[in-house]
Structure 1
Amino acid sequence: MLANTVAQNQSRQTLEHYDEIWLFGYGSLIYKVDFPYLEKCPAYILGWQRRFWQGSHDHRGTPENPGRVATLIAQAGSRCDGMAYRVTAEEFIHLDHREKNGYLRHEVPVFLINESGQQVKKLGIIYIADEENSAYLGEDSEEAIAAHIANCRGPSGENSEYLIMLDEALAELGVVDPHISQIRWHLSNLI
């Protein structure tokens, strides 16, 4: 069964109480920006780690052979870097559909990094796929995750492309994520 969360996300938050809405991207939302935005800037959140523990039945894999994509896991003392976008509430019609495979919207503090390097704290929206959703694949070694990724393809392309593009987008932000780097190193030995 696919974990379609569109209706659940639309009933979770109306977004009407926001003066401005900041969406935090930590996976494909960093490099595949297929929605209009009013403003963007590098950002980070605290207490979360990026992990390739979520299954992708609809983008980077199939129901028979789900790919692996990024989600977040809670980890005290951690920092997850990404990109924040100021968007209108209307954009969540598209975003909820795009992130429908097990991801739920959550409100978190997002620390925006402006052009002068100053940090500004805002309330933001992130999509997280936790272990309760049916598409969750869970923890595995970076080597096993790389082997899994090497053998998956979906309507949005090769699963390996997702990993490589995310790693390159993080590098452009000056971010090294050891989990991502180790998976990519193992993947490079397979393809």
Structure 2
Amino acid sequence: MSSVEIRPVSGIAVEPWLDELAGLRIRVFRDYPYLYDGDPDYERRYLDRYARSDRSLFVLALEYNRVVGVASALPLEDADEEFLVPFRQQGPSPEQVYYFGESVLLPDYRGQGIGHRFFDLRELYASDFGFPTTAFCSVVRAVDDPRQPRGYTGLEPFWRGRGYRPAAGLTTGFGWRDLGDQEETRKTMQFWLRDAPE
């Protein structure tokens, strides 16, 4: 990891990297379990929402100024409506939650501690802003999904080791087109929450 620089960037300061980040998201999310057939225009609009939030955070992983990974976060109340509704209905209040968007890293850079740095810095940012809860969501796929690669292991043990737990019944739906499909389908997304240490 010695050649990788971890650089936090907030709000509109991320603008110079947005196109590169959009391409990175599409590349990484093609893999299982997301199987995302990416749309650059959608990606740019999605990332623009984060860039417009004055309390957002992008944690960039850079190797010789090339982005090899990124993790994002913003106050939940600044996120898309699909993410807000379940919290309004079930709690905790959106105003109490700092929401983590993607955490994507090219395969050659995994297993070097960068994922932990992504979480460390986002949790620190949330704490600095006084948010008592951090959250993210992940796609739910059937355990016997035939597209699951042989030997696949999910990130659930990593998330649990960071203190996150799936919140019972706290889900949303989000649509995208899977690789090989003609139409977009709506997926269930499970929220994972962690309360800040006392």
Do they fold alike, i.e. is TM over 0.5? no
Greater share of residues in helix:
2
- The structure, 1 or 2, with the larger RCO (C-alpha pairs under 8 Å, 6+ apart) is 1
**TM-score relative to the length of structure 1:** 0.28
TM-score, scaled to structure 2: 0.27
